[in-house]
């Protein structure tokens, strides 16, 4: 098994939320390979670490958003993406599909929802 198979990249521009997601990933035995607050930083970290999974907030600071980052990451590597969003606007939902997410979770997200989505993304046969 690849040592980075369960490496997770966390992308959120709110530091406390990113830290919470990191703690949850570590609690279920996954390695957090990086935390990014912008789309540009997320793409750079993904190129460096080639994570198995990216937890991606849709709305990020800067010109590019999480959807832009997810599209770029998916074009360059085979990382799974789970979008986490507070928005259910039809235009946002349509754009999310362009990022080919494994799952879309809407805030507020329960621990159970997050853990199930992560397990399913990393091992769909076990779901």
pLDDT of residue 123: 86
Q: What is the dihedral of CA 42, 27, 59, 109, to 10 degrees?
A: 160
Q: Look at residue 71 in the predicted model and tell me its pLDDT.
A: 97
Q: What value does the CA radius of gyration of the chain take, rounded to a whole number of Å?
A: 13
Each residue's pLDDT expressed in tens, for the chain with a length of 127 residues:
344 457 999 999 999 999 999 999 999 999 999 999 999 999 999 999 999 999 999 999 999 999 999 999 999 988 999 999 999 999 999 999 999 999 999 999 999 999 999 999 998 766 5
Tell me: the pLDDT tens digits for 67-83? 999 999 999 988 999 99
The DSSP secondary structure of 30-80, one letter per residue, reads: -EEEEEESSHHHHHHHHHHH--SEEEEES--SSSS-HHHHHHHHHHHS--E
pLDDT for 78 equals 85
Inter-axis angle of helices 90-98 and 66-76, nearest 10: 20
Domains identified in the chain and CATH numbers:
19-50+68-126 (3.40.50)
Of the chain, the end-to-end C-alpha distance in Å amounts to: 20
């Amino acid at each position: 098994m690849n040592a980075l198979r369960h490496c997770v990249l966390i992308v959120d521009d709110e530091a406390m939320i990113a830290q919470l997601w990191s703690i949850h990933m570590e609690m279920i035995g996954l390695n957090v390979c990086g935390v990014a607050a912008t789309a540009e930083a997320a793409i750079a970290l993904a190129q460096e670490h080639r994570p198995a999974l990216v937890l991606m907030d849709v709305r990020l600071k800067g010109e590019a958003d999480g959807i832009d980052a997810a599209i770029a990451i998916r074009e360059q590597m085979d990382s799974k993406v789970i979008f986490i969003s507070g928005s259910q606007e039809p235009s946002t939902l349509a754009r999310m599909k362009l990022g080919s997410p494994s799952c879309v979770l809407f805030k507020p997200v329960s621990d159970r929802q997050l853990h199930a989505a992560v397990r399913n993304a990393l091992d769909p046969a076990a779901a």
